[in-house]
């Protein structure tokens, strides 16, 4: 499933034109992206939570050469599926 | 941000959308992703990320209270891989 399929679903459900539906879907993901960019988490009841986490600097190794390298601190995004999402995924055999 | 705040922001930023329509849009999107995952399909949203179903193997674990060994069956879970654009924006963002 891609964004185009999601646009199609919105189009069928809402009665907006395909063009409008595409713009609206884009807008939803843009809103989510700018929220996460600010470091703010998103909690979607029944679906899951998107949380930005800080990763500290750590030492790593280049697996090919064995050289020790420093892995810089960075921010990453994590997704934790809700209990509801996990159970519907497991319900179907 | 919660789902209702997302719905509110969406209707704020598009004059086609009242609160009712925004709610319908957000629920349609989440239902769509959820249904695809239930069917075992992968969902890819360019610039945002992709959702896939991953299987966790069966394992043995212990009840921390009694120390008893319990068998945990294999189960499926939703996995999200952040897309390139979003990964970079999150890392460079001022959060």
Least CB–CB distance from A75: residue in B9, B77, B90 = B90
Are residues B94 and A39, on separate chains, in Cβ contact within 8 Å? yes
Mean pLDDT of chain A: 93
**pLDDT score of B55:** 93
Q: Which residues contact A19 (CB under 8 A, 6 or more apart)?
A: none
CB B45 within 8 A of CB A6: yes
Q: How far apart are CA A52 and CA B2, in angstroms?
A: 15
User: Which of A40, A57, A49, A53 is CA-nearest to residue B30?
Assistant: A49
Are residues B91 and A39, on separate chains, in Cβ contact within 8 Å? no
Residue B95: which pLDDT band, with cuts at 50, 70 and 90?
low
Residue A92 reports pLDDT greater than 70: no
CA B59 to chain centre: 25
Are residues B10 and A27, on separate chains, in Cβ contact within 8 Å? yes
Residue B90's beta-bridge partner residues? Answer: none
Residue A68 reports pLDDT greater than 60: yes
Residue A37: both structure tokens together: 């960019």
Q: Which residues contact A51 (CB under 8 A, 6 or more apart)?
A: A41, A77, A78, A79, A80
- A27 interfacial to chain B (CB closer than 8 Å): yes
Q: What's the rounded mean pLDDT across residues A87-91?
A: 93
Phi, psi of B37 (to 5 degrees): -65, -40
Tens-digit pLDDT profile for residues A15-56: 899 999 999 999 999 999 999 999 999 999 999 999 999 988
């Amino acid at each position: 499933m891609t964004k185009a399929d999601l646009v199609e679903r919105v189009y069928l459900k809402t009665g907006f034109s395909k063009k409008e539906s595409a713009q609206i879907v884009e807008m939803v993901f843009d809103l989510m992206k700018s929220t996460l960019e600010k470091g703010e988490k998103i909690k979607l009841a029944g679906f899951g939570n998107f949380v930005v986490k800080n990763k500290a600097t750590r030492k790593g190794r280049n697996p090919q050469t064995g050289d020790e390298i420093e892995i810089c601190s960075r921010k990453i995004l994590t997704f934790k599926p809700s209990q509801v999402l996990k159970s519907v995924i497991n319900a179907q055999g | 941000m919660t789902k209702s705040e997302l719905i509110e922001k969406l209707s704020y930023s598009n004059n086609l959308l009242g609160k009712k329509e925004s709610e319908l849009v957000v629920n349609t999107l989440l239902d769509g992703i959820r249904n695809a995952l239930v069917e075992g399909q992968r969902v890819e949203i360019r610039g945002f990320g992709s959702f896939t179903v991953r299987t966790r193997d069966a394992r043995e674990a212990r009840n921390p209270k009694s120390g008893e060994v319990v068998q945990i069956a294999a189960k499926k879970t939703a996995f999200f891989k952040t897309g390139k654009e979003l990964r970079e924006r999150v890392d460079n963002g001022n959060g």
